[in-house]
């Protein structure tokens, strides 16, 4: 019969801890299969698998001044990332240390040596994370232009902003950091009314095709007041362009969509639904949009 592993002391459960805290716990117990060793001198119970838990374990032995950055900071801040970036970064942790500081070398950690100003770092949930503005700049080295615009849209989103446009502009002003040119190009395209990465992708696609001017999340009103809020609108021509993801297949959502579209039709709006297939190959969408524009005086 296999020998049962003794439970960890109550004060060490449910969190990362340094072995110096484990007074009275044997070395063999600290090497048991229910304890993970993220770095020398630290332990993390294996049932704690979230990114935040793993970062908390690594932070115990990071150099003074270090902060979680790049894709890791983006994930901790819940910024939208392309699927391939999100998947590729799931098992690794990005850490930035100030120049002149020895970067950590350990499995699963990607270390960056860069200048870190005081306002570049803040603490959230006990973790030192690069600020939204600094994270935006850092992501310019790993994301495409469109991916970075989606991140910027989320950072300055009107409903729940993480930073202001002015703060992003201030952080980029005078900077010579790697990626700053792309960051400035992206910031010029950021829209604080955008509410999803797909809206951003659609907006950029149409803008580059010469469609516009476009109003993002435009509110349509009638005699009785509010009628609908549409993703994108050519207001003067009363053309509404909506991205419809898979959640629109839900029966109750579908019924709401039908009623909403009926109200828009009654007010003389042209409604153009868009799916992922249209983003992948936009030729038919653009042709339909040109036809809709031609129908207007």
Same-domain pairing of 96 and 180: yes
Last residue of some domain: 5, 26, 58? 58
Give the three-class secondary structure for 260.
helix
Cα 137 → chain centroid: 13
Helix (H, G, I), strand (E, B) or coil at 151: helix
Domain presence at residue 275: yes
Question: Rounded CA gap, 69 and 95, in Å?
Answer: 5
pLDDT at 1 over 50: no
* Residue 192 is assigned to a structural domain of this protein: no
Mean local confidence (pLDDT), 65-88? 86
d(CA 201, CA 204): 5
Contacts 24+ apart (CB under 8 A), 60-65: 60/16, 60/17, 60/18, 61/18, 61/104, 62/95, 62/97, 62/104, 63/97, 63/101, 63/102, 63/103, 63/104, 64/101, 65/97, 65/98, 65/101, 65/116
Instruction: Give the domain CATH number at 209.
Output: 3.40.960.10
Structure tokens at 49: 């698998």
Say if residue 232 is in the same domain as residue 265.
yes
The predicted model scores a pTM of 0.87
Residue 72 or residue 16, greater confidence: 72
Tell me: pLDDT of 2 over 80.
no
256-273 pLDDT per residue, tens: 888 889 999 999 999 999
User: What total of structural domains would you count in the chain?
Assistant: 3
Short-list 174, 158, 164, CA closest to 131: 164
What is the Cα–Cα distance from 149 to 144, expressed in whole angstroms? Answer: 9
State residue 12's pLDDT score. 86
Distances (CA, A) of 178 to 139, 140, 184: 10, 8, 12
Clarify whether residues 220 and 175 are in a common domain.
Answer: no
- Enclosing domain of residue 35: 14-58
Best CA proximity match to 130, nearest among 114, 140, 148, 116 = 116
Q: Which residues contact 21 (CB under 8 A, 6 or more apart)?
A: 11, 12
| Residue 75 sits in the same domain as residue 173 | yes
In a domain, 278, yes or no: yes
Residues 132 and 50 reside in one and the same domain: no
Q: Based on the domain organization, do 179 and 85 belong to the same domain?
A: yes
Closest CA to 61 of 118, 109, 7, 104: 104
Do 116 and 157 belong together in one domain?
yes
25 is a domain residue: yes
Domain end residue (candidates: 187, 205, 226): 187
- Last residue within a domain, chosen from 58, 76, 93: 58
Q: Is the pLDDT of residue 88 over 60?
A: no
**Same domain, residue pair 169 and 212:** no
pLDDT digits (tens, 9 = 90+) for 36-72: 888 888 889 888 889 999 999 999 989 999 999 999 9
- Residues 182 and 208 occupy one common structural domain: no
Report pLDDT digits (tens) over 96-155: 999 888 878 888 899 999 989 889 999 999 999 999 999 999 999 999 999 999 999 999
96 domain-assigned = yes
Position 9 in a domain: no
Mean of the pLDDT values across residues 217-227? 91
Rounded to a whole number, what is the distance in angstroms from the first to the last CA of the chain?
85
Tally the residues of the chain.
297
Average pLDDT, the chain: 90
Residue 66 and residue 51 share a domain:
no
Asked whether residue 249 is assigned to any structural domain, the reply reads yes
Residue-wise pLDDT tens digits, 239-255? 999 998 766 567 777 78
Q: Do residues 104 and 178 share a domain?
A: yes
pLDDT at 152: 98
229 and 143 part of one domain: no
pLDDT score of 85: 58
């Amino acid at each position: 019969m296999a020998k049962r592993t003794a439970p960890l002391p109550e004060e060490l459960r449910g969190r990362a801890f340094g072995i110096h805290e484990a007074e009275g716990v044997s070395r063999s117990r600290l090497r048991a299969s229910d304890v993970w060793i993220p770095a020398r001198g630290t332990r993390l119970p294996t049932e704690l698998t979230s990114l935040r838990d793993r970062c908390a374990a690594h932070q115990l032995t990071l150099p003074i001044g270090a902060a979680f950055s790049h894709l890791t900071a983006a994930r901790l801040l819940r910024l939208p990332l392309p699927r391939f970036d999100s998947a590729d970064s799931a098992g690794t942790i990005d850490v930035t240390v100030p120049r002149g500081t020895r970067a950590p070398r350990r499995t699963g950690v990607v270390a960056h040596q860069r200048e870190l100003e005081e306002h570049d770092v803040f603490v959230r949930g006990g973790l030192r994370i690069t600020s939204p503005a600094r994270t935006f700049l850092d992501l310019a080295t790993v994301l495409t232009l469109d991916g970075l615009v989606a991140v910027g849209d989320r950072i300055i989103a009107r409903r729940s902003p993480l930073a202001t446009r002015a703060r992003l502009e201030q952080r980029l002003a005078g900077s010579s950091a790697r990626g700053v040119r792309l960051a400035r190009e992206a910031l010029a395209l950021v829209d604080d009314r955008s509410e999803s990465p797909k809206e951003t992708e659609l907006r950029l696609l149409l803008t580059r095709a010469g469609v516009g001017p476009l109003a993002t999340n435009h509110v349509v009103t009638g005699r009785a007041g509010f009628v609908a809020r549409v993703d994108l609108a050519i207001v003067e021509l009363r053309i509404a362009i909506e991205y419809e993801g898979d959640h629109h297949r839900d029966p109750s959502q579908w019924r709401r969509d039908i009623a909403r579209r009926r109200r828009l039709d009654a007010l003389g709006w042209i409604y153009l639904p868009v799916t992922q297939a249209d983003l992948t190959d936009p030729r038919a969408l653009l042709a339909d949009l040109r036809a809709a524009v031609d129908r207007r005086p």
